[in-house]
Amino acid sequence: METKMPKRKLGNSGLEVSAIGLGCMGMTFSYAPFPEKKDMIVLIRKAVEQGINFFDTAEIYGPYNNEELVGEALEPLREKVVIATKFGFDIQNGKSMGISSRSEIIRRAVEGSLKRLRVNVIDLLYQHRVDPNTPIEDVAGTVKDLIKEGKVKYFGLSEAGANTIRKAHAVQPVTALQSEYSLWTRQHEHEIIPTIEELGIGLVAFSPLGKGYLAGKIDEQTKFAEGDIRSHLPRFTEDARVANKTLLDLLQNFADRKKAATAQIALAWVLAQKPWIVPIPGTTKLHRLAENIGAVSIQLSGEELEEMEAASAQIKIMGTRYTEALEKTTGL
């Protein structure tokens, strides 16, 4: 069955994208072993054929090879797509020296991203992680200048706090906040989501399937390959994988009722939270791409959402999403 992909507006900015985007990070970064580049070019182009027009990458993924992949795949389809990328790391000789959003670092990143993505303007440019050493007003000011110069269309932040979002937004309107959000990562509901709702900023939800866990294919027997970031994450220890199964059982219950996959229920839940939230699940498999797209046709009623809310409120998720060191330095 062909799924008609609806569009969503990211807040009040006027930027309209497909209701589900495609996170491209895992194609070259974090989830080794990596597939063949030619297969990923096919997958990205298939995504466009199936109605996805919103693609997410970053300079740090690789570094560089993720943007190169996305650029090559989408060059013939440029007029149909919205490409988001990110700055925020001082990269020297292909290695990250750490977080930095100094003006010259941002400008260097943008020049590189434009070339690698094979575009003359970046549709949506995020600060990848907040730089504690550079005032956010300065960061927003640099991006404002880049927008005036015609190199960038829209400004975004990633994993920023409410206060940072307000300060940035006062200098250059923020179109989207990209942060982790899913049925098992909900800390942003307390302060962040009300703040961006008030300011008219969209939410781009990364890891809406909990780095794959909510798709129901990872259990205590799963062995992560060398180079798979999940082998280092507290939420993916063997004990946590067993303890967190209760959440999968809840998703499975709804999947059975809706004749859907657990991943589709997890995505449908994210889509049902606000009309300006756009999840960007990543995948390297064509059948998962089709499955994720199918989530847009699943409607969860008010009663079903209340039932999910009540049941999930009883579930204590084991394990933090990152170690403290990764939380501070990572661009995942």
Side-chain-side CA neighbours of 131 within 13 Å: the count stands at 25
- Summarize pLDDT for 50-91 with one digit per residue, the tens: 999 999 999 999 999 999 999 999 999 999 999 999 999 999
pLDDT cut 70: percent of the chain above it: 99
Q: What is the pLDDT of residue 285?
A: 98
Tell me if 260 is assigned to some domain: no
The overall average pLDDT reported for the chain is 96
Tell me if 249 is assigned to some domain: no
CATH number of the domain residue 201 falls in: 3.20.20.100
What is the tally of structural domains in the chain?
A: 1
Q: Which pLDDT band, with edges at 50, 70 and 90, does 199 fall under?
A: very high
Residues with catalytic roles: 61
Q: What is the pLDDT of residue 208?
A: 98
Tell me if 313 is assigned to some domain: no
The residue assigned the tokens 């990596």 is 34
Tell me if 220 is assigned to some domain: no
Which pTM was predicted?
A: 0.97
Tell me if 117 is assigned to some domain: yes
Domain range enclosing 84: 7-212+274-298
Side chain identity at 291, as an amino acid letter? E
**Backbone dihedral angles phi then psi of residue 100, each to the nearest 5 degrees:** -160, 130
CB 170 within 8 A of CB 190: no
CB 261 within 8 A of CB 14: no
CB 82 within 8 A of CB 175: no
More confident residue, 3 or 288: 288
Beta strands in the chain (DSSP E): 7-9, 16-18, 22-23, 54-56, 82-87, 89-92, 95-99, 122-127, 152-158, 174-180, 202-206, 277-279
Q: Which pLDDT band, with edges at 50, 70 and 90, does 326 fall under?
A: confident
Residue 329 has pLDDT above 80, yes or no: no
Tell me if 153 is assigned to some domain: yes
Tell me if 320 is assigned to some domain: no
Please give the average per-residue pLDDT across 222-238, as a whole number: 94
d(CA 60, CA 330): 10
Tell me if 253 is assigned to some domain: no
